A and B are shown apart, each in its own frame.
Chain A
Amino acid sequence: MALKLNSNLLAQIREHGMRDYPNECCGVLLGRARDGTKDVIEVVPLRNLRVDRKAAQEILPLENPSQETERNRFLIDPRDQLQVEKDARARGLEVVGYYHSHPDHPARPSVYDRDHAWPWYSYVIMSVWGGSTKDVTSWVLTGDGTRFESEEIEVVNCAASS
C-alpha cells in the first residue's frame, strides 16, 4: 500500500503540528482505498482529548498519568470520531488513517503507538522540533500486530492533481 495525498493536505497536517506544539496534535485522513493505494481526499484536525485529563482517563486510562500528558500522548474523542465517520460516509468517503505529531521526537512509531494501533489504517507521524515540522512518515501495523511497516507517502503536486 502507498498513501497518496496532495501537497495542500500535507501542508494542513504540518500546520496543525506547529499550531498545537508543544502538545501532540491528531487528526483523521479521509479518502478512498483502491488497488493497493489509499487516496487521501480530506484531512480533518481533531482535538487531543488528553488535554481533558478526566474525560480521557474514562475513555482510555493511562498507566502513569503523572508522566503521560497531552505533550506525549494523544487520544481522539470517540464521539468526534463517530461524527466524522458518519459525515464522511454520507459523502462517499471512508477513514483511511490518522495522523499525530511527536513534539521534539523523531517521526518513528513508539511502542505505545504500536500497542494502540489497529490493522489496515495508515498512521502518519510527523516530528515537530522546536515548533517546526521536519519528517513526516506513514506506518501500517502488520497483520499479526507485532510491528509497524513503513508505508510510502506519495505527495502529489496540487496543480497536477486537479
Chain B
Amino acid sequence: MPVKVVIPTPLRQYTGKQDAVQVQAKTVGEALSGLVSQYTDLRKHLFNEEGKLRSFVNVYLNDEDIRYLQKTETPLREGDVLSIVPSIAGGLALRCICN
C-alpha cells in the first residue's frame, strides 16, 4: 500500500531534492528497502554493512518511534507517514588535542 516517507534536508541530495517520497510497502522494513532501491545513494546513509538500520538513524511511523513498535517489522496502513529523523549528537573532545 502507498505510504509517504519524509526525507530530512541532508538526505534530499540523494532523492532528487524531494522532501517526501511515495513507496509501496506492507512493513516499515519494506518501505525503507523500497526507498533505497529507488534511490541507491541513500543506502549507505541509512543502513550499515550488515544491512541493519544505522544507530544514527531514527525512524518514526506517524508520531511513534519504531524502536517502541515492532521495529522494521512494524506493519503499515494506507496513508501512514514514515519520517527519517537523523540523530543529532556531539560533544567536546574528552582529551583536548586542540592547538
Contacts and interface: CB of A to CB of B under 8 A. Distances in A.
Most buried by B among A59, A82, A112, A120: A82
B9 A68 contact: no
Contact of A68 (B19, B65, B91): B91
A123 B91 CA distance: 12
Interface string B53-90: 00110101001010100000000000000010111111
Chain A facing B: main interface SS: mixed
Contacts of A96: 9
B91 A113 contact: yes
Contacts of B11: 118
A103 interface: yes
A108 B98 contact: yes
Contacts of B91: 24, 68, 72-74, 100, 102, 110, 112-113
Interface string A116-136: 111111010000000000000
Interface string A87-111: 0010000111010101101101111
The residue in B8, B83, B92, B96 that gathers the most chain A C-beta atoms within 10 A of its C-beta is B92
Contacts of A78: 58, 60, 65, 85, 87
Interface of B: 8-11, 13, 19, 55-56, 58, 60, 63, 65, 67, 83, 85-94, 96, 98
